[in-house]
Amino acid sequence: DAGVTQSPTHLIKTRGQQVTLRCSPKSGHDTVSWYQQALGQGPQFIFQYYEEEERQRGNFPDRFSGHQFPNYSSELNVNALLLGDSALYLCASRRNGLAGEDNEQFFGPGTRLTVL
């Protein structure tokens, strides 16, 4: 059973460009969240998708947008890249539920984005 997968593993962009990151959730999971982790910091919540809709959003500008597909996979798009967007972008998945193991979040290996 494959866990959460992300692509690409590394990416280098220049300021002002746009980038798309991809995530496939763990089998059986339907809820996908994205996090940004700057060097030496804990991950910061960007947004969460469930049933192809953005269900919750953290404190990130509109330059950050996303999408969830019918197969539960997800994309994170960042427009007008800034130097400060350089970070490890993590995708997490879980099964939507109210109790027990359904709540455990599983994380992918991340995509390292460098903005020059």
Partner 1 sequence: KQEVTQIPAALSVPEGENLVLNCSFTDSAIYNLQWFRQDPGKGLTSLLLIQSSQREQTSGRLNASLDKSSGRSTLYIAASQPGDSATYLCAVRRSSGGGADGLTFGKGTHLIIQP
Shortest Cβ distance from residue 114 to partner 1 (Å)? 13
Residue ranges binding partner 1 (CB under 8 A): 4, 6, 31, 33, 35, 40-48, 50, 55-56, 58, 88, 90, 92, 96-101, 103-110, 112
Shortest Cβ distance from residue 16 to partner 1 (Å)? 26
* CA–CA separation, 23 and 50 (whole Å): 14
Q: How many CA atoms lie within 13 A of 4 on its CB side?
A: 25
Nearest CB to partner 1, comparing residues 76 and 92: 92
Written in H, E and C, the secondary structure of 58-88 is: CCCCCCEEEEECCCCCEEEEECCCCHHHCEE
Shortest Cβ distance from residue 43 to partner 1 (Å)? 5
Please choose, from the candidates 61, 62, 75, 78, the residue with its C-alpha nearest in 3D space to the C-alpha of residue 17: 78
Nearest CB to partner 1, comparing residues 25 and 108: 108
